[in-house]
Amino acid sequence: MNIATSLFAAAPMHRLRIGDVSIARVEDYHGPGLPGTGMFPALRPDMWQAQQDWLVPHFYDPASSRLRTSIHSWLVVTPRHKILIDACIGNHKNRPSDPRFHMRDEPWLERLAAAGAHPDEIDFVMCTHFHADHVGWNTRLVDGRWVPTFRNARYLFKRDEFDRWDERRPDYVPRESQRFVFGDSVLPVVEAGQAILIDDGYAVDDRLTVEPAPGHTPGNATIRLRAAGEQALFSGDVIHHPIQLPYPELCSVFDDDPVQGLATRLAVLDAAAASGILLLPTHFAAPFCCRIDVAHAAGERYRPRWPAG
């Protein structure tokens, strides 16, 4: 058993506390993802080989050349509110471009309950952006109609992100992986009167602040948690996979603007390395979150510091 294996066996992080706030991970998917070069076209074999002591097998499977990934929500419970950050893939969604997302029937709501919330208890839903794997559980299918899953929640939608994906606009730029997403996972929330359009800087519960993180999408956001002198950053898809820590120049094929996305990623990671705060991305496989150190090896930029066991 190498060092990484013993760490992961000892510390499957599903729940943590920051000050008086509890955070639980609610899983919709954990396992093989896209081929490495399918996600990051510039990924070279020497990159994962140089990192294989910690990258394999938890984050990368050399036999299949596939990334290992997670798709999860974060349930944030403050003394006053229950807040869901990102809404995963959802059930029964027609997603012809990705078999992993298509017509699922997963017990995510049961996992949410196990994490500590009935859907009716969620006060706020915050989506870092509107990609199919971040808005799916916004709605569920009831008697053939898409209705908000969280009937007592206010859904906080970034105005610029809403405008990017509003397919009713004449300047709408389609993306194949987003087919049907606005219509089945965003618009029904608006029609139910539960959407609030917000801008950067919006604060929820005086502990969470929405910050701009453009590039992956125009309205992409990170969400900063401040509680009892501690901080954490829900970083969404600013960084998809730990291979982007040594090599942040690897850009995802899903980035609307890869150049801006890289600038945002470097800014977030530089700040995280300087401040020592915890990063909570949406797609890191176990143990799901880390702090950031500056790397000392040539050609590498950052290293993850995983939670202690």
Asked if 255 is part of the footprint of Zn ion (rule: CB under 5 A), the reply reads: no
Q: Which is nearer to Zn ion, 28 or 133 (CB)?
A: 133
237 binds Zn ion (CB under 5 A): yes
Stretch that binds Zn ion, among 23-31, 97-105, 131-139, 204-212 (CB under 5 A): 131-139
259: burial class by Cβ within 10 Å (0-12, 13-18, 19+)?
exposed
Q: Does 205 bind Zn ion (CB under 5 A)?
A: no
**Nearest distance in Å: CB 109, Zn ion:** 20
Minimum CB distance to Zn ion, residue 70 (Å): 10
The DSSP code sequence of 18-64 is ETTEEEEEEEEEEEEEEEHHHH-TT--HHHHHHTHHHHTTTTEETTT
* DSSP secondary structure string for all residues of 168-203: TSTT----GGGTTHIIIIIHHHHHTT-EEEE-TT-E
Close Cβ partners of 45 (under 8 Å, ≥ 6 residues apart): none
Q: Are 268 and 226 in contact (CB under 8 A)?
A: no
Q: Does 161 bind Zn ion (CB under 5 A)?
A: no
CB of 297 to Zn ion, least distance (A): 28
Question: By CB under 5 A, is residue 27 in contact with Zn ion?
Answer: no
CB contact at 8 A, 140 and 246: no
CB 53 within 8 A of CB 297: no
Q: How far is the CB of 136 from Zn ion (least distance, A)?
A: 11
Cβ closest to Zn ion, residue 39 vs residue 77: 39
Minimum CB distance to Zn ion smaller for 205 or for 255:
255
Residues 46-65 that bind Zn ion (CB under 5 A): none
Q: Does 86 bind Zn ion (CB under 5 A)?
A: no
Q: Which stretch binds Zn ion (CB under 5 A): 62-70, 154-162, 213-221, 230-238?
A: 230-238
Binding residues for Zn ion, rule: CB under 5 A, are: 133, 237
